[in-house]
Amino acid sequence: MDLALLIVGVLVALIAVITVMRTVRIVPQARARNVERLGRYHRTLQPGLNFVIPYIDRVHPMIDLREQVVSFRPQPVITEDNLVVEIDTVLYFQVTDPRAAAYEIASYLQAVEQLTVTTLRNVVGSMDLEVTLTSRDRINSLLRGVLDEATGKWGLRVNRVEIKAIDPPKTIKDAMEKQMRAERDKRAAILAAEGQRQSQILTAQGDKQGAILRAEGERAAAILKAEGQSRAIDEVFQAVHRNDPDPKLLAYQYLQVLPQLAQGDGNTFWVIPSEVTSALQGVSKAFTESVPRSPATRERASSSEEVAALAAEDAAEAEEAAADAVADAAVADGIAHTNGEQPRPAPPA
């Protein structure tokens, strides 16, 4: 008897515990649970402590109200130019109405996936491959608009739709790589040509500036050289006029220049000018006669003894110069006979 009562007491306590557990329901934050009473939707449990009627109310599994991320497997899509591409999409959505998410659609995840695939095929089917690869933002915007409108009655809100990858066929990839390489080679050739053009332009400008500077330098040098020659000629002219030379001095200078006329490798014979005899006579007469001195010479030789000594020295130098001139003339005459040429004799004075 006591054992039977004990067993009954344990069963009652167990039933009471189970009843309390089925009566009290704790819902975490950002979660929701739908409650059916006698098979009909009754209410949605909010986060926190909730009480239900055990054995009458049925509590469904929790529904996550946070934003969820779902990545769908790549789907084959045909573009407008009949190329098959694999498109991988990522969907960001959130459950806003737990009741509609549970009773308006059997599986909202599967429904969203299929709706994404069909919408993606409709959108991409109206674009060619190049537009598809460069219009991701446009595709994302179109997908989000269609999905958000269609899933609104299911208690869902689509926040974002992103295309993770677009994989064209391998042959198209190879062609695109070749095209990109060709474009890069083209840009490189254009840049190289531009660089060479700029280099040639800069080189030509540098040559132009160098030629201008060299021409200016040569012009300045020629001007300075002409000015120097002009000043030298002027100084010589002024010096000659200051010393008041006579014809005898000029004849003496003429005799000193005569040996230089016979110098040079190209001279095969030497013609004695007719003025040599006249110059020799003038020099002899200049040193045998009394020649008046210039003011500078008179200041230097003031006494008669100094004048005589200077005259003797000048006579000796004149004789030596005359002898050298005659010797040079004889040598030149011998060279002319050796080469088989007949020198022209000097005319008589």
DSSP states of 253-298: HHHHHHHHHT-STT----PPPTHHHHHHHHHHHHHHSPPPPPHHHH
Give the span between the Cα atoms of 118 and 166, in whole angstroms: 16
In this predicted structure, what is the pLDDT of residue 230?
Answer: 85
DSSP letters for 128-169: -HHHHHH-HHHHHHHHHHHHHHHHGGGTEEEEEEEEEEEE--
Residues of the chain with pLDDT under 70: 1, 240, 243-319, 321-349
In this predicted structure, what is the pLDDT of residue 128?
Answer: 87
* Nearby residues of 292 by Cβ (< 8 Å), 6 or more positions away: none
Q: What pTM does this model have? A: 0.49
Give the span between the Cα atoms of 41 and 60, in whole angstroms: 10
**Contact status, residue 35 vs residue 57, Cβ threshold 8 Å:** yes
In this predicted structure, what is the pLDDT of residue 282?
Answer: 57
* Nearby residues of 345 by Cβ (< 8 Å), 6 or more positions away: 272
In this predicted structure, what is the pLDDT of residue 94?
Answer: 94
Give the span between the Cα atoms of 321 and 43, in whole angstroms: 149
In this predicted structure, what is the pLDDT of residue 93?
Answer: 93
DSSP symbol at 303: S
Q: For residue 146, how many other CB atoms are within 10 A of its CB?
A: 19
> What is the tens place of the pLDDT at every residue in 310-338?
656 666 666 676 666 656 655 555 544 44
